[in-house]
């Protein structure tokens, strides 16, 4: 009996020590460099976002936060690297919506459940856009044509089995029309195809097409949001037609699942403070990333990813990318 009591006492002491160490680590964190992994090449949207937000986070946390680019397989290579690191908060991962597609189609064995979300920093508002020589002057005429001519309407997006294809086909399904999706390797090639009349419409965000829209070469006919945008007051939004919203293109930060809650909370606080700095707000405005509220933190971010995963799975199954 005495021996059992001793064992129980020893376990209680050990448990208390572990709690103390965990709390102490959370209070002290960070004490050294935090590596920031971007799964895309230098100069791209995710790379630029990572460098801007962590510039401010570094000042807030008081440690260096170098960005390391690991391009390849739509960030699957970077995801694999992050999962091989300790869950200690010293490896921060800049993620995009593509991580959802990767897990659904099997490009990566990991999903959002293998990550501890920090923040979704912003969303890129998607739109259906047409060229200035298009016969479609509004969304209704485009839908009417597509209903009368199933699969004859061609709509471009960047990449096959990509976020663009999922978002495009999701909104077309909501509209009750069948179209032919045409994948492109780059936005610039897609824009040229639209302006040349080789395709009838495109799925695109505001930022990449801003110059073309301002010049009158391209016109949005539908913004895929719950409310109209102030910058495009005459363009209807998806909610006006009672469409369920497809996933949005977003960027955010996370760490490996299992990272102590105290550390995740410190990163959340630092990221939110960084996002609200004048400098980062200017960054988002210049890149047209502030059209729609995008900030989600921690569990709210995780719940939204769970919602999106169901949509990705359903659409990619309909498209034949998964069984």
Instruction: Note the pLDDT tens digit of each residue in 75-95.
Output: 999 999 999 999 999 999 999
Instruction: Note the pLDDT tens digit of each residue in 229-272.
Output: 989 999 999 999 999 988 888 999 999 999 999 999 999 999 99
Is the distance from CB of 281 to CB of 101 less than 8 angstroms?
A: no
Q: Which of 202, 224, 241 is where one domain is finished? A: 241
One-character DSSP codes across 4-28: HHHHHHHHHHHHHHHHHHHHHHHHH
Q: Which of 241, 263, 298 is where one domain is finished? A: 241
Task: Tell me which residue range forms the domain holding 207.
Answer: 141-241
In the prediction, which pLDDT does 23 show?
45
In the prediction, which pLDDT does 21 show?
44
What would the mean pLDDT of 117-142 be, rounded to a whole number? 96
Q: In terms of domains, do 235 and 145 share one? A: yes
Question: Has residue 90 been placed in a domain?
Answer: yes
CATH number (domain holding residue 112) = 3.40.190.150
**Sequence-ordered list of residues with C-beta below 8 angstroms from that of 112, at least 6 positions apart, any chain:** 99, 100, 103, 302, 305, 306, 309
One-character DSSP codes across 191-212: HHHHHTTSSSEEEEEHHHHHHH
Instruction: Note the pLDDT tens digit of each residue in 2-53.
Output: 554 554 444 444 444 444 444 444 469 999 999 999 998 888 889 999 999 9
The candidate with the shortest Cα–Cα distance to 254, out of 23, 1, 50, is 50
Q: In terms of domains, do 37 and 105 share one? A: yes
Instruction: Note the pLDDT tens digit of each residue in 193-229.
Output: 999 999 999 999 988 888 999 999 999 999 999 999 9
Q: In terms of domains, do 42 and 103 share one? A: yes
Instruction: Note the pLDDT tens digit of each residue in 260-303.
Output: 999 999 999 999 999 999 999 999 999 889 998 899 999 999 99
Question: Has residue 19 been placed in a domain?
Answer: no
In the prediction, which pLDDT does 12 show?
46
Q: Which of 210, 241, 272 is where one domain is finished? A: 241
**Sequence-ordered list of residues with C-beta below 8 angstroms from that of 230, at least 6 positions apart, any chain:** none
**Sequence-ordered list of residues with C-beta below 8 angstroms from that of 179, at least 6 positions apart, any chain:** 146, 151, 153, 154, 155, 168, 169, 172
Question: Has residue 307 been placed in a domain?
Answer: yes
In the prediction, which pLDDT does 2 show?
52
Q: In terms of domains, do 187 and 210 share one? A: yes
In the prediction, which pLDDT does 260 show?
98
Instruction: Note the pLDDT tens digit of each residue in 158-177.
Output: 888 888 899 999 999 999 99
Please tell me the distance from the alpha carbon of residue 10 to that of residue 309, in angstroms, as a whole number. Answer: 45
Q: What is the CA radius of gyration of the chain?
A: 23
Question: Has residue 11 been placed in a domain?
Answer: no
Question: Has residue 129 been placed in a domain?
Answer: no
What would the mean pLDDT of 93-109 be, rounded to a whole number? 92
The candidate with the shortest Cα–Cα distance to 188, out of 208, 202, 215, 210, is 208
Question: Has residue 323 been placed in a domain?
Answer: no
Instruction: Note the pLDDT tens digit of each residue in 226-240.
Output: 999 989 999 999 999
Q: In terms of domains, do 258 and 281 share one? A: yes
Question: Has residue 270 been placed in a domain?
Answer: yes
Domains in the chain, number: 2
In the prediction, which pLDDT does 44 show?
80
Strands 218-223 and 154-158: unpaired
- pLDDT mean across residues, the chain: 90
What would the mean pLDDT of 91-107 be, rounded to a whole number? 93
Question: Has residue 149 been placed in a domain?
Answer: yes
Q: In terms of domains, do 153 and 221 share one? A: yes
Assess whether pLDDT exceeds 50 at residue 118.
yes
């Amino acid at each position: 009996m005495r021996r059992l009591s001793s064992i129980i006492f020893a376990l209680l002491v050990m448990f208390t020590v572990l709690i103390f160490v965990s709390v102490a680590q959370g209070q002290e964190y960070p004490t050294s460099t935090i590596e920031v992994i971007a799964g895309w090449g230098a100069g791209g949207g995710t790379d630029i976002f990572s460098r801007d937000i962590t510039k401010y986070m570094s000042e807030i946390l008081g440690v260096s936060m170098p960005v390391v680019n690991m391009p390849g397989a739509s960030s699957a290579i970077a995801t694999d690297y992050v999962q091989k690191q300790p869950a200690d908060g010293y490896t921060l991962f800049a993620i995009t919506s593509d991580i959802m597609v990767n897990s659904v189609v099997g490009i990566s064995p990991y999903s959002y459940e293998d990550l501890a979300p920090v923040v979704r920093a912003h969303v890129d508002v998607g739109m259906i856009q047409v060229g200035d020589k298009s016969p479609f002057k509004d969304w209704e005429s485009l839908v009417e044509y597509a209903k009368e001519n199933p699969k004859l309407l061609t709509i471009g997006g960047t990449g096959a089995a990509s976020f663009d294809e999922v978002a495009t086909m999701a909104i077309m399904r909501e509209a009750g029309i069948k179209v032919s999706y045409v994948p492109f390797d780059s936005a610039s090639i897609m824009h040229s195809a639209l302006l040349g009349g080789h395709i009838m419409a495109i799925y695109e965000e505001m930022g990449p097409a801003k110059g073309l829209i301002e010049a009158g070469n391209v016109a949005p006919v539908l913004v895929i949001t719950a409310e109209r945008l102030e910058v495009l007051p005459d363009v209807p939004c998806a909610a006006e037609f009672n469409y369920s919203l497809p996933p949005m293109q977003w960027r955010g930060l996370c760490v490996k699942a299992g990272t102590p809650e105290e550390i995740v909370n410190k990163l959340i606080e630092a990221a939110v403070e960084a996002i609200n700095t004048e400098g980062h707000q200017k960054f988002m405005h210049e890149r047209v990333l502030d059209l729609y509220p995008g900030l989600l933190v921690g569990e709210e971010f995780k719940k939204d990813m769970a919602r999106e995963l169901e949509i990705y799975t359903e659409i990619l199954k309909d498209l034949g990318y998964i069984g």
